[in-house]
Structure 1
Amino acid sequence: MRAGTLRRSQQSSALIRQPFDGNKFNFTKVGQEELLFQFEASEDGEVQFFPKAPIDVENSPSVVAINVSSRPIEYGHVMMLIPQILECLPQRIDHKSFLLALYMAAEAGNPYFRLGYNSLGEFATINHLHFQAYYLAVPFPIEKAPTKTITTLNDGVTISEFLKYPVRGLVSEGGVTLQDLCDACICLQDNNIPYNVLISDCGKRIFLLPQATN
């Protein structure tokens, strides 16, 4: 099989709230050679790497793995963040997983590093909770789209909507608005509305893109 043609996926469905199915492909079935490292948020704000640290299997580690099964969108699109891999969580964002992704964006400390999330029904084909991660030296078109501020929160974070752009969505700028944005994701999931999330600028800009519905 030629490089770039391997895909491990599940049959897509209109329902984005599906229970985890261990009989289908999931990330507990990836090879050991695909796992890069265990990821945890720093307790002191310092980024550290411990090459001989044991894997915390008892507490279901969050891991970063090589993405070998999908065509890369750009050089460096090789990673997936899989929160608590052994918990076998379905592909639905919750507060804990969303915060973990924001920690990873912040600790990467690189403006070219981005994380993305696709719900089922909006390009996700594996019903096992994961975020895509990659480096991209140029901004996505949506990152340059004009916006209009809707509200400014007490901590100075702004929530804006897109102007004259092909898709509707919201963008948070200036810091982490975990509660509001995660609640919005959960609301979309509860109402069976597929969506995408893009985390950029070391976690300081977060894009939420619901799929248009009739």
Structure 2
Amino acid sequence: MVDRIAVERSVREAAEGDPARLPRRLCEAIRESVSMEAGTLSLFTDTPHRQLLCATSDAALRLEKLQFGLGEGPCVTAARTGDKVVVGDLHTELTGWPVFGSCAQEQLGDVGAIYAFPLRLDAHRTLGAVDVLCRDPHDPDPETVRAGVIAARAASRELLHSYQETVDQGGLPMWEPEDIMDSYWGPTHAAVGLLAGELDITADEALTRMRAHAFGSGRSLPDVAEDILADPECITP
């Protein structure tokens, strides 16, 4: 039986310390609650404004890049539906994401299982999502998954508390992504805004066009973004 109080206490303790490192500490607390090897934490996960704040390993970072580039995967679904997503064996289970499933099996050979938990604002909205993963397949134990759900909900409260506390003091959260993450997501966000303005379309539509262009050309999303920043008409109709 999961000890809810103990899980929530571990998350509260993880929230103490340098505000800039809060996402990483909360991500680690959720990871530990389900005894997995690595994790990620992202905000606005199923939107064009998605921002990765934490990836605790190279495999976790590659997982995030793949999901962001394709616009689908466990983390995206968890944020969109507000429910947990469990893939116990990435390399044998059929997934509900046709492109992500095949790409993950090709590109994430060192990832066996993925659990994704939404960071909930309330019953109908999410702040983002957390992925936890491990090298080997992992048969999902219901109690272990429940511990992850409890930890993710507690982490959501800590993130909201930190955000509100900072805003009340006239500032903004110091949740800064590491350089390698910002170099991937930053240019893409800038290009989305530029393309949306150039074509008079929404950010969602701009990102969809960029993803399609990247997938069709076999290039990465940041490479396409750099092209757009240099010449916004490079993928216009």
- TM score, norm. by length of structure 2: 0.27
Higher helix share: 2
TM-score of the aligned structures, taking structure 1 as reference length: 0.29
Structure with greater strand share of residues = 1
